[in-house]
Amino acid sequence: MLNEQLIMEMKERVFEANLALPESGLVKLTWGNVSEINREAGVIVIKPSGVPYCTMKASDMVVTDLAGELLEAGMKPSSDLATHVELYKAFEGVNAVVHTHSKNAVMWAQAGREIPAYGTTHADTFYGMVPCTRQLTAEEVASAYEVETGKVIIETFKKGGIDPIAVPGVLVYGHGPFTWGATPQKAVENSIVLDEIAEMACVTEVVNDAVPPIPQYLLDKHYFRKHGVNAYYGQY
């Protein structure tokens, strides 16, 4: 039996996180979605498909089980639900997922390029380059597009030996960015950072097309002063 209070709280968090996408300039029209998972309760809450942000309500958020099957009557879930489900299955410690078509990140995804760590703004959130997946095959797109999108993200992290907690985002070739985090708010924050560093990297290469990534010692310093047991940035 569903815990109504827990579901209501999840719906409110997911609703607020979805509203933050257009407010942050990451989304136009209905091009984005946020979800949250509670593994103990066995539920995922996600934005409904194609609903304008200006008319959406917290009660419209869609509730599914961990396989993406509906648990409540109501609106259809985001068409990207199956991708979110695959990420939740593969990435323990990820409690929220965001997908957008934010302009700067999409430019890199369309170019099929990872985003190098050119500076400390990047290093504060992403411990190394932001990877870009390979292109999906015609068979993958035809068979189970959203599922295969999740699988190609997971494949990219496994092949690259990348920790999804240390690098909380990815570019899907020709498509756009997915980010994640411990909370919906944090996952949205990671999307904001990703789009900012995508723009910074693009202009950096215009200014100097031979610029190397920052050295490992500087990447380490900026990442670990915010993350891990020895972090000291902030008040806590």
Q: Is 233 a catalytic residue?
A: yes
pLDDT tens-digit series, residues 99-137? 999 999 999 999 999 999 999 999 999 999 999 999 999
In a domain, 217, yes or no: yes
Catalytic residue among 124, 127, 217, 220: 124
- Whether 189 maps to a domain, the answer reads yes
Is 234 a member of any domain? Answer: no
Active-site pick, 65, 163, 220, 233? 233
pTM of the shown model = 0.95
Helix (H) or strand (E) holding 201: helix 184-207
Which CATH number fits the domain that encloses residue 13?
3.40.225.10
Q: Is 53 a known active-site residue?
A: no
Distance CA 58, CA 143 (A): 33
Q: Whole domain around residue 161: which residue ranges? A: 1-225
CA distances, 225 to each of 46, 67, 167, 233 (Å): 32, 37, 15, 6
Q: Is 22 among the domain residues? A: yes
Tell me whether residue 160 is in a domain: yes
On whether residue 236 sits in a domain, the answer given is no
Cβ neighbours, 10 Å, residue 99: 29
Q: What is the mean pLDDT of the chain?
A: 96
Rounded-to-integer distance, Cα 112 and Cα 102, Å: 15
